């Protein structure tokens, strides 16, 4: 069994919204003046997961771990090197724009930087009304009214409809991006770091909004973030990525309370704990160095060059396997006994008290 061929727990067949199977994207690595192909960037390397209706899967990992590439593969902005994407049981892998147009009514993308995706010459109301026109519903007047209703739904008052994107704050622009995405009445939102550019209080407000919208509209979310703290209150399940692979995936509670993979343990050790008692019990794990290049990943366990628990067995690749509690983990040492053992880190790594 390889990491990619495993099917983690997720939505059951009847309520399944999205399934990706062994999804892989290798970009050509070119060098020299002629731009000859000299290798591959393994941006996404055999990723599998599923997502149920009304469910949020958070995808978390450091910069360059392949999170955005997964979202782009799902929405059809990239073609996979191999693997499949199934949306409501329909195999949409490799669909061209013409065929994806129907899918985009049900699946929308919210970008990290709404600045880049909002037309600076259009007013907020027009931006949302234009998205409404995709469904070819209603008159121009109806669409203008509906745009104001959608702006209100995301907490932007009616008078904001006449503003241009640059006249909004970062948080308001992100709300506008969400209103535009909701205009086509999607079932699934791919949210690529939707709150990363915002300050902490604005992040909380936007996460509350997404939470309420999910309950009201029965939306499914793929929520991408750098940081586990951001997804703590919104994720139902969490997938942790490292070098293009899922290294751990499972229910939020298990991931936060009993992380089985040393990488998850390290990420989690950086998350502030609200109660001071818990803070005392947990040590901060500082990982050595930067992640290796996805064009030259380590052999064996991809995390072994930075892992504080590395052992001789780690020169062989660990499969993503069931370690109990609905969690799949790609660590040879993972298991109920190894869970949450940040304090048991060996002297090989740096553990800051």
Ligand X SMILES: Nc1ncnc2c1ncn2[C@@H]1O[C@H](COP(=O)(O)OP(=O)(O)OP(=O)(O)O)[C@@H](O)[C@H]1O
Contacts with Mg ion, residue ranges (CB under 5 A): 68
The entry of Mg ion, ligand X, ligand SF4, none near residue 314 (CB within 5 to 8 angstroms by kind) is ligand SF4
Does 165 participate in binding ligand X (rule CB under 6 A)?
A: no
Measured between alpha carbons, how far is 77 from 112 in angstroms, rounded to an integer? 16
Question: Which of helix, strand or coil describes residue 98?
Answer: helix
Which pairs from 154-158 meet CB under 8 Å and 24+ separation? Answer: 154/178, 154/179, 154/182, 154/209, 154/213, 155/205, 155/209, 156/124
CB of 194 to ligand X, least distance (A): 12
Measured between alpha carbons, how far is 75 from 64 in angstroms, rounded to an integer? 19
Among 69, 93, 174, 269, binds ligand X (CB under 6 A): 69
CA distances for 12 relative to 51, 69, 105, 249, 251, angstroms: 9, 25, 23, 16, 15
The entry of ligand X, Mg ion, ligand SF4, none near residue 318 (CB within 5 to 8 angstroms by kind) is ligand SF4
CB of 193 to ligand SF4, least distance (A): 25
**Total chain residues near ligand X (CB under 6 A):** 13
Which residue is associated with the tokens 């993972």? 334
The full length of the chain comes to 353
In terms of CB distance, is 16 or 248 closer to ligand X?
Answer: 248
Measured between alpha carbons, how far is 331 from 314 in angstroms, rounded to an integer? 8
Torsion of CA 28, 33, 36, 41, to 10 degrees: -20
In terms of CB distance, is 244 or 259 closer to ligand X?
Answer: 244
Among 18, 43, 333, 342, binds ligand X (CB under 6 A): 43
Pick from 90, 92, 85, 186: which is nearest to 134 by CA? 186
Query: Mask of contacts with ligand X, 215-234, x by CB under 6 A?
Result: -----------x--------
CB of 43 to Mg ion, least distance (A): 10
**What residues line the site for ligand SF4 (CB under 6 A)?**
261-262, 301, 303-304, 307, 309-311, 314, 318, 331-333
The entry of Mg ion, ligand SF4, ligand X, none near residue 64 (CB within 5 to 8 angstroms by kind) is ligand X
User: Applying CB under 6 A, which part among 63-71, 139-147, 227-235, 298-306 lies near ligand X?
Assistant: 63-71
User: Applying CB under 6 A, which part among 31-39, 57-65, 271-279, 284-292 lies near ligand X?
Assistant: 57-65
**303 CB-near residues (< 8 Å, 6+ apart):** 242, 243, 247, 261, 262, 263, 331
Does residue 309 contact residue 345 with C-beta atoms inside 8 Å? yes
The entry of Mg ion, ligand SF4, ligand X, none near residue 114 (CB within 5 to 8 angstroms by kind) is none
The entry of ligand X, ligand SF4, Mg ion, none near residue 200 (CB within 5 to 8 angstroms by kind) is none
Using CB under 6 A, list all residues that contact ligand X.
27, 41, 43, 61, 63-69, 226, 294
């Amino acid at each position: 069994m390889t990491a990619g061929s495993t099917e983690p727990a997720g939505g059951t067949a009847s309520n399944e919204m999205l399934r990706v199977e062994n999804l892989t994207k290798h970009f050509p690595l070119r060098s020299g003046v002629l731009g000859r192909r000299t290798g591959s960037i393994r941006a996404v390397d055999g990723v599998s997961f599923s997502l149920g209706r009304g469910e949020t899967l958070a995808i978390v990992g450091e910069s360059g771990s392949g999170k955005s590439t997964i979202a782009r593969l799902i929405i059809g902005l990239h073609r996979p090197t191999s693997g499949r994407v199934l949306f409501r049981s329909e195999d949409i892998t490799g669909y061209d724009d013409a065929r994806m147009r129907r899918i985009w009514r049900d699946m929308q993308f919210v970008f990290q930087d709404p600045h880049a995706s909002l037309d600076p010459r259009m007013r907020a109301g027009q931006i949302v009304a234009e998205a409404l026109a995709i469904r070819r519903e209603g008159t121009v007047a109806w669409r203008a009214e509906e745009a104001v209703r959608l702006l209100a739904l995301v907490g932007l008052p009616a008078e904001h409809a006449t503003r241009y994107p640059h006249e909004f704050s970062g948080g308001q622009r992100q709300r506008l991006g969400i209103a535009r995405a909701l205009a086509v009445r999607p079932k699934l939102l791919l949210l690529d770091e939707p709150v990363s550019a915002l300050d902490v209080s604005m992040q909380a407000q936007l996460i509350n909004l997404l939470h309420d919208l999910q309950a009201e509209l029965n939306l499914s979310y793929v929520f991408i973030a750098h940081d586990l703290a951001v997804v703590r209150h919104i994720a139902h399940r969490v997938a942790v990525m490292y070098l293009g692979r899922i290294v751990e995936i499972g229910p939020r509670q298990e991931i936060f309370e009993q992380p089985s993979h040393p990488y998850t343990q390290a990420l989690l050790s950086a998350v502030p704990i609200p109660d001071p008692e818990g803070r005392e019990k947990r040590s901060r794990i500082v990982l050595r160095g930067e992640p290796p290049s996805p064009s030259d990943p380590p052999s064996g366990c991809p995390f072994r060059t930075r892992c504080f628990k590395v052992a001789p067995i780690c020169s062989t690749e660990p499969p993503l396997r069931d370690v109990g509690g609905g969690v799949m983990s790609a660590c040879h040492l993972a298991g109920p006994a190894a869970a949450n053992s940040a304090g048991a880190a060996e002297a090989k790594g740096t553990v800051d008290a």
